[in-house]
Structures are given as structure tokens and as C-alpha cells.
Amino acid sequence: MNSLLQLLFPTACLLCALPDSALCSLCESKISRVTGRREIAGTPLWAGAYYGDELAQLILLAKEENDQPARNYLAGLLVETFMSTKTNPSQSPVATFIPIPSSPLANRKRGFRHSYLLARRAAALIERSSSQTVAVIEALGVNRKIADQSNLNRAERTRNISGAYSVVSRHIPRSFLLAPEPIFLIDDLVTSGSSIREGLRALQEHGIAPSGVLAAGVSPRVFS
């Protein structure tokens, strides 16, 4: 029974393999949390933690290897950011998450949609711990070929992504048009902010104005 449990719920640290929880306290302590809110293209941004080696590894595990405990950790960071957006506890009992899309090619190569799964996981954690309902709508799609952003500088990222997202109307259910608020754009990591700016542009062009952006991680260089 024990070995079955260990198979289902691994108890070694994802980063250093120390037998502990999914993330040992030493590795966890190296991930520094972000406090307060920032702004991007006139929209509030809440981020969970600053980007560093540990967070980079967790994002890679979730994004490239479909690793559930890593995704759970990132989703937990998103839940914390969502809770920080609440100024009034009696706020709207519903919310909508719109994930920043990956390219269809990246999705095909991976065999799963990383940003969608991350947003779904965060939504499930919020629904489990509160009476709030969180819909995840893949309202944004990539409409042309884009290069992998990781090796591009800030100006190149902006050029690469500009005009690359559009709203996928068929993914927007009627219920969203009736009661969408508040809407949050969701991303695993904000580095230059170019994907977020492009996501906001595409949504705003379609008459959708998100209340904020929630990111699991943020680069300290860009938002310090």
C-alpha cells in the first residue's frame, strides 16, 4: 500500500530529490514571493514569485514534461495571486480565467496544452477552497507562426508576438457573455510582458477588458 501511495503521491522533492514533500522546504525557501501589485499596459498584474533557477525548473517540468506536482505548485502560486486581487470578501462569486495560448505546433509536440491545464488546475483549487466558480475559457488563439520566445530579446519578442493572437469566438460560451466578470488573463511566467500585452490587445479589440493579469512567476529584471 505504501509503495502504491508513493507512486501516486511521490514524496521526494521535485528539484533536489530529497525525500520530503513534492517540494522540500530548502528548495521552497529559495523561491521568493512577490508582494503587491504591478501594472502592465494599464492593467493590474499580480505575480506569485520571482523567476529564478528553482521556479525555472518547475515551469519546465510542468510545461515540457506534464509533471503534475510541478503544475500543482505553479497553480498554488496562481491561487495566491487570485486571493490578493480580492479587496472585498463578498466579491463576485464567479470569475473567468483566459490562458495565454501556446502555438498549435508547441501543443502538438507536447501532446497537451500547458497554459490551459495550469489555469484549470488553479481554477479547481479555488473552487475546492471557496464558494467561487471559475470558468477557464480558451478565448485566445495563435493565428500565425511564432518563434520560441525564450531566446529572443525584448524588442524581438515584441516583433515576434505582435498581432499573433486573436479571439476564438467559437470557444466563448453564451454564459460568458452574460456574466463574465471579473476576467483574468493567466500566464505561467511574465518576462518581457510582450505576450501579455498582445493578449490584452487581442481581447480589447474584441470588446473584452480583463480586470487583471495573474502570473505564477515574474522576471525581477522587468518588474522590480
Which one of residues 10, 12, 21, 24 is an interface residue with Zn ion (CB under 5 A)? 24
Interface segment toward Zn ion; rule CB under 5 A; list 5-13, 51-59, 173-181, 188-196: 5-13
Under the criterion CB under 5 A, does residue 31 sit at the interface with Zn ion? no
Under the criterion CB under 5 A, does residue 61 sit at the interface with Zn ion? no
Phi/psi at 218 (nearest 5 deg)?
-145, 145
Decide whether 24 or 124 has the Cβ nearer to Zn ion.
24
- H or E element that contains 47: strand 43-50
- H or E element that contains 153: none
Pair 22, 14: CB distance under 8 Å: yes
Q: Residue 219, SS3?
A: coil
Which one of residues 16, 56, 83, 209 is an interface residue with Zn ion (CB under 5 A)? 16
Under the criterion CB under 5 A, does residue 168 sit at the interface with Zn ion? no
Q: Which three cell numbers stand for residue 188?
A: 505561467
Dihedral sign, Cα of residue 210, residue 38, residue 103, residue 122: negative
- Nearest approach in angstroms of CB 67 to Zn ion is 14
Cis, bond preceding 182 (omega within 30 deg of 0): yes
- Nearest approach in angstroms of CB 25 to Zn ion is 8
Pair 76, 89: CB distance under 8 Å: no
Q: How many residues bind Zn ion (CB under 5 A)?
A: 6
Decide whether 193 or 217 has the Cβ nearer to Zn ion.
217
Decide whether 14 or 183 has the Cβ nearer to Zn ion.
14
- Nearest approach in angstroms of CB 31 to Zn ion is 11
Q: Give how far the C-alpha of residue 169 lies from the chain's centroid of Cα atoms, to the nearest Å.
A: 21
Under the criterion CB under 5 A, does residue 13 sit at the interface with Zn ion? yes
Under the criterion CB under 5 A, does residue 27 sit at the interface with Zn ion? yes
Q: Give how far the C-alpha of residue 206 lies from the chain's centroid of Cα atoms, to the nearest Å.
A: 22
Decide whether 51 or 73 has the Cβ nearer to Zn ion.
73
Among candidate residues 189, 204, 188, 196, the one with its CA nearest the CA of residue 158: 196
- Nearest approach in angstroms of CB 121 to Zn ion is 21
Under the criterion CB under 5 A, does residue 125 sit at the interface with Zn ion? no
Q: Residue numbers of the site for Zn ion (CB under 5 A)?
A: 13, 15-16, 18, 24, 27
